[in-house]
Amino acid sequence: MIKENIAIVSVCFLLTIIVSFFIFNYGFNLSGFAVYNDSPYGSNSVINQTFIVTRSDAILAINQSEQIISEMQNNNFSIVYVSDRLSEAKRVFAQVSYAEVLKSDNASERQKAEASQALRLVDWKKISYSDVLVYTDEIKQRRDESFFIFDTLTVEQQNFLGASNETRQIFENAVAAFYDDRYNESEYLLVKFRDASEKEQMQSSSLQGIKIGAQNFVQRYWLHMIVVIIILLFVAYYTYKKFEKKLLVKKIKKLKTELIVLNDLMKKVQTERFRENKLSGLVYNIRMKKYNEREQEIKEELPVLEERLKKLDTLKNKDLKTAKY
């Protein structure tokens, strides 16, 4: 009895070693099904959940992807990227289907020939239905990303009206990038818009605080301000009157000096034209016209300035007489 038990244990142990050998060295899997790693941490992760991906799973994933694309299209999102991923998923699905034909013992020679022709450039032994889910998962991720960016655009739009033209342009570029399927650029521009908008809001709050402070100050001290303004106006008026005569005298002197210079220039031009014959008639006429026009302007302006100076002297003398009495 003991010998029989030892024999049974020995046989079981030997069978275990043989099965383990085939599993680890020849990639033996049940019913030709693929093993799919669904862990977001990768195949080497401590958290590594695996399950078998069947043909039905792949078909379901493709159908879900088509629904996702339809949903995105109904929301006017770009479907260029996801459509491309779906095409790749269907292409891989077809390749795996052909690979299943080559692995099957029930397939006809004609079916195997067709499958071999379709997979002539593919290492069909290394593909499985899990490869289909790689593309369909990208479609799901793209869908989630698109709605996240769209929601962010919707939220940030409330800051659009209060923003400057430059900041508004950033937001408009973010919207354009989103609908052009440039999600990374859109996210970058959204961050840039948010920063610029927050900065402008802070500046606006500071200016609003200053404005409120100024309004409170005016409301509290408006009477004092009026008195100060009246005093400043009187000071400005008498200061101007004090320097007005000096300015008039200076300007009159400048214009008289200019008259002398003009007369000298006209004499010089006449000498160069009629005595030395250095100037042509055309140049002479142009210069003389210019000098005569300026001379006429000065002769019209001088009497006005001299009259104003005369009135200032008269007013000053009256003020002096009044002060004496």
| 3-state class percentages of the chain: helix first, strand second, coil last, to nearest 5 | 80, 0, 15
* 238 or 109, higher pLDDT: 109
Residue 246 has pLDDT above 70, yes or no: yes
Residue-range domain boundaries for the chain: 54-157, 222-324
pLDDT at residue 30, as a whole number: 38
* Better-scored residue on pLDDT, 266 or 25: 266
Q: Is residue 205 pLDDT above 90, yes or no?
A: no
- d(C-alpha 323, C-alpha 315), whole Å: 12
Can you tell me the mean pLDDT for 83-88? Answer: 97
Q: Does pLDDT of 90 surpass 60?
A: yes
At residue 42, the pLDDT reads: 39
Lowest mean pLDDT among 43-47, 164-168, 195-199: 43-47
Chain-centroid distance, C-alpha 71: 28
State how far the Cα of 116 lies from the Cα of 33, in Å rounded to an integer.
20
- Crossing angle for the helix pair 130-156 and 55-74, to the nearest 10 degrees: 20
pTM for this model (two decimals): 0.50
pLDDT of residue 46 exceeding 70, the answer is no
User: pLDDT tens, 94-137?
Assistant: 999 999 998 888 888 899 899 989 899 888 888 999 999 999 99
Q: Hey, what amino acid is at 295?
A: E
Q: Phi first, then psi: what are they for 51, rounded to 5°?
A: -150, 160
Query: pLDDT value at position 245?
Result: 76
Strands 34-37, 50-53: pairing is antiparallel
Confidence at residue 12, expressed as pLDDT on a 0 to 100 scale: 53
Inform me whether the pLDDT recorded for 19 exceeds 70: no
The pLDDT score that the predictor gives to residue 197 is: 86
DSSP 124: G
**Under DSSP, is residue 297 helix (H, G, I), strand (E, B) or coil?**
helix
For residue 272, the model assigns a pLDDT of: 87
**Residue closest to 86 by CA, chosen among 129, 135, 134:** 135
**Residue 23, pLDDT above cutoff 70:** no
